[in-house]
Structure 1
Amino acid sequence: MRFNKLDLNQLVVLDALLSTRSVGKAAERLFLSQPATSCALSRLREYFEDELLMAVGKKQVLTPLATELVKPVRNVLLQIQTITRARPSFDPATSTRRFTIESSDYVISVFLSEVVRRAAKLAPLMQFDLRAISPQTPEHLDSGEAELLIAPEFATVPGHPSEPLFEDSFSCLVSSESPLANHDLTIDRYFDAAHVAVEWGGGRRITFDARLISTGKRVRRQDVIAPNFTLVPELLLGTARIATLPTRLAQQMAKRFGLRILECPLDLPRFAENLQWQKYQEGDPAIVWLRKLLRETAAQMSPMLQPAVKASKSVGCGRGKPRPASKSMSG
Structure 2
Amino acid sequence: MRYNKLDLNQLVVLDALLSTRSVGQAADRLFLSQPATSCALARLRSYFEDELLVPVGKTQVLTPLAAELEKPVRDVLLQIQAITHTRPGFDPRTSTRRLKIEASDYVISVFLSAAMRKAETLAPLMQFDLRSISPQTPEHLNGGEIDLLIAPEFAIVPGHPSELLFEDDFSCLASTEHPLDAKTLTADQYFNTAHVGVEWGGGRRITFDAKTIAASGNRARRQDLIAPSFTLVPDLLVGTSRIATLPTRLARQMTSRFPLKLLPCPVEVPSFSENLQWHKFQERDPAIAWLRSLLLETAQGLPAQAPHRADKKKRQAGADRRNNR
TM-score for the superposition, normalised by structure 2: 0.93
Aligned partners of 2:301 and 2:8: how far apart in 1?
A: 46
Aligned to 1:219: 220
How is 1:146-157 mapped onto 2 (pairs within 5 angstroms)? 146-157=146-157
Which runs of 5 or more residues in structure 2 are unaligned?
317-325
SS in 1 for 2:257: helix
Aligned to 1:36: 36
Maintained 8 Å contact 1:52/1:66:
yes
Q: Is the deviation greater in 294-303 or in 177-186?
A: 177-186
What displacement does 1:183 show?
5.4
How is 1:257-276 mapped onto 2 (pairs within 5 angstroms)? 257-276=258-277
What displacement does 1:115 show?
0.8
SS in 2 for 1:231: helix
What displacement does 1:304 show?
3.1
Aligned to 1:77: 77
Maintained 8 Å contact 2:95/2:125:
yes
Aligned partners of 1:87 and 1:54: how far apart in 2?
A: 41
SS in 1 for 2:231: coil
Aligned partners of 1:319 and 1:33: how far apart in 2?
A: 68
Maintained 8 Å contact 1:180/1:240:
no
Q: Which has the higher helix share?
A: 2
Aligned partners of 1:244 and 1:225: how far apart in 2?
A: 12
Maintained 8 Å contact 1:164/1:272:
yes
Aligned to 1:285: 286
SS in 2 for 1:256: coil
In the alignment, structure 1 residue 255 sits paired with structure 2 residue 256: yes
How is 1:73-222 mapped onto 2 (pairs within 5 angstroms)? 73-181=73-181, 184-215=184-215, 216-222=217-223
Write out per-residue CA displacement over residues 209-257 of structure 1, whole angstroms, 9 at most, x where no aligned residue: 1111112232211111111101111111111111011000000011101
Aligned partners of 1:236 and 1:320: how far apart in 2?
A: 30
| Counterpart code for 2:121 | K
SS in 1 for 2:55: strand
Maintained 8 Å contact 1:176/1:259:
yes
Aligned partners of 1:39 and 1:167: how far apart in 2?
A: 52
SS in 2 for 1:240: coil
Aligned to 2:237: 236
| Counterpart code for 1:218 | R
Maintained 8 Å contact 2:162/2:277:
yes
What displacement does 1:305 show?
5.0
Q: Is the deviation greater in 271-280 or in 19-28?
A: 19-28
| Counterpart code for 2:33 | S
Maintained 8 Å contact 2:182/2:263:
no
Which runs of 5 or more residues in structure 1 are unaligned?
323-331
SS in 2 for 1:291: helix
Aligned partners of 1:98 and 1:113: how far apart in 2?
A: 17
TM-score for the superposition, normalised by structure 1: 0.92
Aligned partners of 1:66 and 1:321: how far apart in 2?
A: 58
Aligned partners of 2:312 and 2:205: how far apart in 1?
A: 27
CA RMSD of aligned residues (A): 1.7
SS in 2 for 1:320: helix
Aligned partners of 2:111 and 2:182: how far apart in 1?
A: 30
The runs of at least 4 aligned residues of structure 1 exceeding 3 Å deviation read none
The number of residue pairs the alignment matches comes to 315
